[in-house]
Amino acid sequence: MKEAEAEKDFFNKVLTPKEIVCELDKYIIGQGEAKRSVAIALRNRWRRQQVPPDLRDEIAPKNIIMIGPTGVGKTEIARRLARLANSPFSKVEATKFTEVGYVGRDVESMVRDLTELAVSMAKKKEEEGVKSRARELAEERLLDLLLPKKKEEIREEEEGEKEKILEVVKVDKLESRSTREKLRRMLRDGKLDERFIELEVTDSNIPMVEIFSSAGMEEMEFNIKEVFGNMFPTKKKKRRAKVPEALEILFEEESQKLVDFDKVIEQAIRLTEQNGIIFLDELDKVAGTESHGPDVSREGVQRDLLPIVEGSTVITKYGMVKTDHILFIAAGAFNMSKPSDLLPELQGRFPIRVELDSLSMEDFVRILTEPKNALITQYKALLETEEIELVFEESAVREIAGMASMVNERMENIGARRLHTVMEKLLEHISFDAPDMTEKKVTITKAYVAEKLEDILEDENLSRYIL
């Protein structure tokens, strides 16, 4: 019952489609149709939680194929969506997989990777809940190291309160407590920060064993770790550290002890099954039907993907994970192939198709200036660390966008990624000389942009090499 309530609370925080699109607009320019599609897909998850339980399991997620050239925002849309939903998110390339029987990763590994991410998220959340208690216990352990207990106190703790304890021991105990409280105050005030302390930490290293198996290398890796983790005794090693570092080490150890790992795994599996998002990039690379050379397993990868996308059970080291309600967002340029080249059954599992537009010069101008993480904002912040104030004139921004757009037309169109190469080349000298510059304000003008990039643009071979 509590689990259902917690899940309901989580989904109550999901934004409306309009709010999701507004949030995506803060980071991604254009691509309104794709934003609307992913916003509806995310909202449908919340809607599914509101329907009666007998119908809930019958409602399948509306998987999406995003079609468009590289660098137009496909990956960024999926990544930002996962952050908005606080969902485990995994990006994988379809070309890394091979069908069963070939050397390479099997498609089930993407579900195992997603589960690992969910475990990390659930563990972090649990650690937040026990943080204050872990901090208290770590402080007590540190005080024990700074002020070791006397034998009489240890005996008293072991045997309990007994009448035979001498009065002088009770006096010593009171004095010890007083000293301990003084040390506690000094510790909290930071007066012991420069003091070194010796403590024992667990050495978690185990012998490395490499085993090749048809089950997949990552599957064997955790099995070996589990086996050897039980066979070899836990080793302790002594380490000298300053008091603040020692406190953090002890805090980590106490947090691990307080976290209920069974509960973490249970939450992680539920999080993976209900909220997981897998972004399957380069799907067009396995869409071809011809089988030549190293691409002989392309159709086989599609066949192996089909049960995962349709809904199946994958074995992970944390238990069985069902993929029925994981949201799959596929993407590809589909230059040499079409979505219709995919297996008909796989096409049917991606009912939503959205085509992303190529980016124009005006889009580049907006990408450079409007998003929260705009490229110009990033470079200004980087150079502020060297006390350099970077100012971009509006005409300079348009010149940068125009050059990036021109290079994309002349050579391979890599979308907004071209702006990174152009900006890096433009600011190369300033970035290099920044620590030694006496002039702390630098204005980037249209003439400066033309001067720095003109030679490269004129030389076709050089521009191919650099940009």
Number of domains in the chain: 3
**Which residues, including other chains, have CB under 8 Å from residue 246's CB and lie 6 or more apart?**
142, 145, 197, 199
The model's pLDDT over 355-411, given as tens digits with 9 standing for 90+, comes to 898 888 999 999 999 998 899 999 999 999 999 999 999 999 999 999 888 888 888
Q: Is the pLDDT of residue 171 over 50?
A: no
Structural domain contains residue 26: yes
At residue 165, does pLDDT exceed 90?
no
CA–CA distance from 271 to each of 1, 76, 425 (Å)?
16, 22, 43
pLDDT score of 83: 84
In terms of domains, do 301 and 377 share one? no
* Mean pLDDT, residues 253-281: 89
**What is the number of H-type helices and E-type strands within the chain?**
21, 11
Q: Find the range with the poorest average confidence among 77-86, 189-198, 265-274.
A: 189-198
pLDDT tens digit string along 444-459?
Answer: 999 999 888 877 776 6
State the Cα–Cα distance between residues 320 and 308, nearest whole angstrom: 13
Residue 287 is predicted with a pLDDT of 79
Alpha-carbon distance of 211 to 33, in angstroms, equals 47
263 within domain boundaries: no
Q: Is residue 372 part of a domain?
A: yes
Judge if 410 and 382 occupy the same domain. Answer: yes
418 and 401 share a domain? Answer: yes
Asked if pLDDT for residue 7 goes beyond 50, the answer is: no
- In this structure, the answer to whether residues 243 and 272 fall within a common structural domain is no
Whether pLDDT at 61 is above 60:
yes
15 with 92, same domain: the answer is yes
Please identify, among 204, 224, 258, the residue that sits at the C-terminal boundary of a domain. Answer: 258
Is the pLDDT reported for residue 427 higher than 50?
A: yes
Q: State whether 111 and 138 are in the same domain.
A: no
The reported pTM is 0.76
Q: Check pLDDT > 60 for residue 172.
A: no
Last residue of a domain, one of 288, 320, 355: 355
Q: 51 or 2: which carries more pLDDT confidence?
A: 51
Expressed as residue numbers, the domain containing 428 is 361-466
**250/314 same-domain check:** no
Rounded percentage of the chain residues whose pLDDT exceeds 70: 78
Whichever domain contains 300, its CATH number is: 3.40.50.300
Is beta strand 319-322 parallel, antiparallel or unpaired with respect to 313-316? antiparallel
Least confident of 99-103, 204-208, 255-259, 437-441: 204-208
Q: 62 and 116: one domain?
A: yes
pLDDT at position 177 is: 67
Domain final residue pick, 198, 226, 258: 258
Task: Write out pLDDT tens, residues 208-263.
Answer: 444 444 444 445 455 555 555 555 556 677 777 777 788 888 888 888 888 888 88
The answer to whether residue 184 is domain-embedded is yes
Which pLDDT value is given to residue 208? Answer: 47
